[in-house]
A and B are shown apart, each in its own frame.
Chain A
């Protein structure tokens, strides 16, 4: 049986608030897809339908938007989606070794999800952390920078224990002489 999805009263109020930010309701598609994904963990076709019907928009329209943007999960993913940046700064700092290490560790290939539904690995495009390469993002949220094999091992252990990484502030670097 297909899961049934619905928004709570609070969420519907939140959606009204989102709608009020824009002159047209269509603009609420992306924020409401985000809201739905945060709640349900994905925006599969049923969730897309819920979003469309809640906003009173054509379902095809919401489907088109959901499939255009890569951060929306169009199917169920692992609890922790490990998006490893593969773009050039990370590439030249060893992103592929990080992915290989993750693959070995989790016993799955890039693009796959572990059988227990805990982890998915994806190679993604630049995440805007080029100075802290190689890096990955956990389920569209926290960045884990300066990855090493040891750091990966620790991350996986932590995640398995339900301990999610914390936000890591990467300061602007001030040149010594300029501050002196």
Chain B
């Protein structure tokens, strides 16, 4: 197998490739700014310079020439090479800052040059704390600067588009953003303008950077030149906890990180998953943080009049639910699952009412034809349509749904977290005379119509599994506490500096942001207990274990595997195709 010697250590490699990527794959460190594994290689930042050479091959024998010690003689390239663009070759020798003082100095030199026109306004820059320029300067940079002239001035606080703000002075011209719009999102909305040290990225005059993927440029900007208009000045990165999750605003299942501080989700960024979203996500998915924080139903509510609800105790809510179930025959209860809720909740809803003798659990897919693109936005606006299908939930469209809601057959309606009334613009009067219960995360048209509202956790608060349009099952982890969960006890929750060191008595921590809600499955388990139904589960993990036992399509699916394998690709053939009746 061909091999490459990096800092006197031999590595074998199978696939041809570039030196920098190989080093990163090996966990080796080399500073760089412009390189991005998913885009073309411009080699323009010049930060990953290494000293490299190849063995001198004897022309006659075709074998490497050896020195006195029997080692191959190396012919070094006359100049330092950028590791990002350097192809590996058998026997290649690479020296980085680890073994070459010259390279170490070259890296410091390059940083000194990058910094001469950089404003060094880290204390007021959003990027500080997660800034490659800041980090690499600390690690590899010079002690100070000898540049004693006026820096080049460029435009600041330019609203490039609805979601992205530019500070051109911070820009180091790595061209990641322009390459992104050319090669990845293909909107071609950005270009570098001007020349030399006056250049910076910009849109065409009068054009707005409204690319539906625009915020990815903020993620890949190695400095604070592009910042998120929404997240700007909201929080320091080191104050937030970072929790892996998935995008629940469409059916693609983009992997994301939820960034929380004091139990508020402050931003959502993409998390690398080669199989789904690579390093990217749509802007829309990032705005989901608002529905995780705002307009939340906290504590159960019961209807007083057509326009008025009242908070009620969990006990009262539970007893009301039990009373209503007992007052109706199974065939009088209409049960509707949700493509917005995880597999576990839908499963438990189905099981619970099965045990009561309700034969069918229905659901209505949330699909808007034409909304998607051929990248990461799907027509499907819900994250778990395929999960509902796998469980065998009956698929109904708007017309059928309205017919069912209207039907005299039913005296009681149960809706799992899905704003059916809102998204289908159904009049609340349609369920008049029926007892309507909805599980809900946020207030909406459906909660308005409901007689009983059970507040449930959202994807940022619970562990739940979702099956994407492509048949990939993945799960979320709790990122923000509810009134009943605790970061220090729930080992799945991530901790920030604030969480670690703050106490309840600190004025920057408040209980206000913890929602009084529980997972839908948990409410159903408690009800089952009350009604002596055998449906005992302690956690969503247990529920998933049960599902994977029962459903052949999910055999062998566990949370551990989902975590380790970054989601599990299911056999799409085992998922019933769309069958709207």
Contact = CB atoms under 8 A, between A and B. Distances in A.
Are these two chains actual partners, yes or no? yes
Interface of A: 45, 48-49, 52, 58-64, 67-68, 70
B206 interface: yes
A60 B195 contact: no
Contacts of A67: 193-195
A75 to B, nearest CB: 11
Contact of B205 (A58, A61, A63): A63
B203 interface: yes
A59 B209 CA distance: 12
A63 B188 contact: no
A148 B136 CA distance: 55
B207 interface: yes
Contact of B191 (A45, A64, A70): A64
A49 B193 contact: no
B195 A45 contact: no
Given A49-B204, A63-B202, A68 B195 contact: yes
A2 to B, nearest CB: 10
B204 A60 contact: yes
B93 to A, nearest CB: 39
Nearest to B190: A60
Contacts of B204: 45, 48-49, 52, 58-60, 62-63
B195 A58 contact: no
Given A58-B204, A63-B202, 20 more contacts: A45-B204, A45-B206, A49-B204, A49-B206, A58-B189, A59-B204, A59-B207, A60-B189, A60-B190, A60-B191, A60-B207, A61-B188, A63-B205, A64-B192, A64-B193, A67-B193, A67-B194, A67-B195, A68-B193, A68-B194
A114 B203 CA distance: 31
For A45, A48, A60, which residue has the most chain B Cβ atoms within 10 angstroms?
Answer: A60
Interface SS majority for chain B: loop
Contacts of B191: 58, 60-61, 63-64
A61 B179 CA distance: 12
Given A45-B206, A49-B204, A49-B206, A58 B193 contact: no
A58 B178 CA distance: 12
A58 to B, nearest CB: 3
* Chain B interface size, under 10 / 10 to 19 / 20 to 34 / 35 or more: 10 to 19
Contacts of A52: 204
Nearest to A69: B195
A63 to B, nearest CB: 4
Nearest to A63: B204
A68 B199 CA distance: 9
A73 to B, nearest CB: 14
Contacts of A58: 188-189, 191, 204
Contacts of A45: 204-206
A67 B194 CA distance: 5
Contacts of A61: 188, 191
A111 B206 CA distance: 25
Contacts of A49: 204-206
Contacts of B181: 60
Contacts of A64: 191-193
Which 5 A-B pairs rank lowest in CB-CB distance, beginning with the nearest?
A: A64-B191, A45-B205, A58-B188, A59-B204, A60-B191
B155 to A, nearest CB: 13
A58 B181 CA distance: 11
A60 B188 contact: yes
Nearest to A70: B195
A162 B189 CA distance: 42
B166 to A, nearest CB: 13
A68 B191 CA distance: 11
Interface in B182-198: 188-195
A49 B189 CA distance: 13
7 contacts: A49-B205, A49-B206, A58-B189, A59-B207, A61-B191, A68-B195, A70-B195
For B194, B203, B205, which residue has the most chain A Cβ atoms within 10 angstroms?
Answer: B205
For A61, A62, A64, A70, which residue has the most chain B Cβ atoms within 10 angstroms?
Answer: A64
A91 to B, nearest CB: 20
A60 B211 CA distance: 13
A59 to B, nearest CB: 4
Nearest to A65: B191
A159 B203 CA distance: 38
B427 to A, nearest CB: 46
Contacts of A68: 193-195
A96 B206 CA distance: 38
Nearest to A44: B205
Contacts of B193: 63-64, 67-68
B207 to A, nearest CB: 6
Interface in B214-238: none
Nearest to A59: B204
A122 to B, nearest CB: 15
A148 B471 CA distance: 79
Nearest to B209: A60
A60 B190 CA distance: 6
Contacts of B192: 64
A62 B195 CA distance: 15
Contacts of B206: 45, 49
A61 B181 CA distance: 11
Nearest to B205: A45
Nearest to B188: A58
A49 B203 CA distance: 12
For A45, A48, A49, A59, which residue has the most chain B Cβ atoms within 10 angstroms?
Answer: A59
